[in-house]
């Protein structure tokens, strides 16, 4: 008989062996570890478990029984959950990695052209900057909106207490492993698989760190994780031909989907 434990106890297991099976008493379901904890109960891509009002929008929450994770039902800033992969009302905002919700994330926000040195945008946790609410473009140098050597830059989006966590209270940016677990639960590695999942991820495109313009809207999805990779950050990208986790310049504007902590 497999060991019985709560989800908190399961998550406390350090370095679980591949193929380890447990009975999750929180979910009342068998779980198996296959690079992530996979829920073996029936897959229900419509499961909703609550409503959250945040910044004037009412979000539902959705639960993926395969991964055991609970998410907001739409991208941050979207007026509705996606009704199709190309539903423009579900696209939401586009955040530069680590930045707070100061208005820069609006798809039509003003472009701020950064100087060659990033010293002018080093005060990432201060107000009253001339770039507040503007999308900072970087066409050379480190391709970051802030000096990567500034202390604390890598912690801006780490957990619910991250300095600039843009999510509602109790929610946070997912780690690379958590976002990749969702991808691994899809029926296919393309926009159809992304939309067919409980998260119903749309192809919201991204905003270019070099031009400030929108790109591949309606054909590709790009979603940030909280995981950093050197001067870059990791994110989920998917198109008609593939879906994968990869590193990207932090000055790019990607979609954000918040995860319940």
Residue 187, pLDDT above cutoff 50:
yes
Half-sphere exposure of 188 (CA within 13 A, CB side): 9
52 is written with which tokens? 């959250």
Higher pLDDT, 133 or 130: 133
**Closest listed residue to residue 48, CA positions, set 200, 180, 218, 233:** 200
CA distance 144 to 155: 15
**Closest listed residue to residue 162, CA positions, set 118, 101, 207, 121:** 101
Domain ranges of the chain: 4-39, 75-261
Determine how β-strand 232-238 pairs with β-strand 57-64.
unpaired
Highest mean pLDDT among 22-26, 52-56, 78-82, 110-114: 78-82
Proportion of the chain above pLDDT 70, given as a percent: 87
Q: Are 64 and 71 in contact (CB under 8 A)?
A: yes
Proportion of the chain above pLDDT 90, given as a percent: 62
CA distance 167 to 160: 8
CA distance 73 to 76: 9
Q: Which long-range contacts (CB under 8 A, 24 or more apart) does 28-31 make?
A: 29/65, 30/2, 31/68
167 is written with which tokens? 């999510």
What phi and psi values does residue 191 have, to the nearest 5 degrees? Answer: -55, -35
Determine how β-strand 29-33 pairs with β-strand 21-24.
antiparallel
Q: Are 2 and 23 in contact (CB under 8 A)?
A: yes
Of the ranges 54-58, 107-111, 112-116, which one carries the lowest mean pLDDT score? 112-116
H or E segment at 9? helix 7-11
CA distance 1 to 154: 43
* pTM attached to this predicted model: 0.80
**Closest listed residue to residue 238, CA positions, set 77, 37, 228, 196:** 196
- The terminus-to-terminus CA distance of the chain in angstroms comes to 30
Q: Are 68 and 37 in contact (CB under 8 A)?
A: yes
**Exposure string for 33-72, b = 16+ CB within 10 A, e = fewer:** beebbbbeeeeebeeeeeebebeebebebbbbbbbbbbbb
Angle at 251 between CA 248 and CA 255, to 5 degrees: 70
Q: How many residues does the chain have?
A: 261
pLDDT the model gives residue 116: 46
Read off the pLDDT of residues 90-104 as tens digits, 9 standing for 90 and up: 999 999 999 999 999
């Amino acid at each position: 008989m497999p060991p019985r434990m709560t989800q908190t106890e399961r998550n406390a297991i350090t370095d679980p062996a591949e193929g380890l099976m447990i009975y999750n008493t929180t979910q009342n379901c068998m779980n198996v570890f296959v690079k992530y904890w996979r829920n073996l109960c029936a897959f229900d891509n419509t499961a909703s478990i609550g409503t959250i009002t945040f910044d004037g929008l009412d979000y539902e929450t959705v639960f993926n029984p395969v991964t055991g994770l609970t998410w907001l039902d739409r991208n941050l800033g979207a007026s509705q959950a996606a009704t199709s992969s190309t539903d423009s009302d579900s696209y939401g905002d586009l955040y530069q990695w680590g930045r707070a919700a100061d208005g820069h994330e609006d798809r039509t926000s003003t472009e701020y052209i950064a100087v060659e040195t990033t010293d002018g945008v080093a005060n990432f946790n201060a107000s009253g900057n001339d770039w507040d609410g503007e999308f900072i473009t970087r066409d050379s140098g480190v391709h970051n909106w802030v000096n990567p050597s500034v202390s604390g830059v890598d912690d801006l989006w780490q957990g619910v207490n991250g300095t600039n966590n843009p999510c509602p209270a109790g929610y946070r940016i997912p780690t690379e492993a958590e976002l990749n677990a969702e991808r691994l639960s899809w029926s296919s590695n393309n926009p159809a698989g992304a939309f067919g999942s409980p998260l119903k991820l749309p192809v919201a495109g991204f905003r270019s760190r070099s031009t400030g313009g929108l790109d591949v809207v309606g054909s590709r999805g790009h979603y940030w994780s909280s995981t950093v990779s050197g001067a870059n950050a990791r994110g989920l990208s998917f198109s008609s031909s593939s879906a994968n986790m990869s590193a990207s310049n932090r000055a790019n504007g990607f979609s954000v989907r918040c995860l319940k902590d």
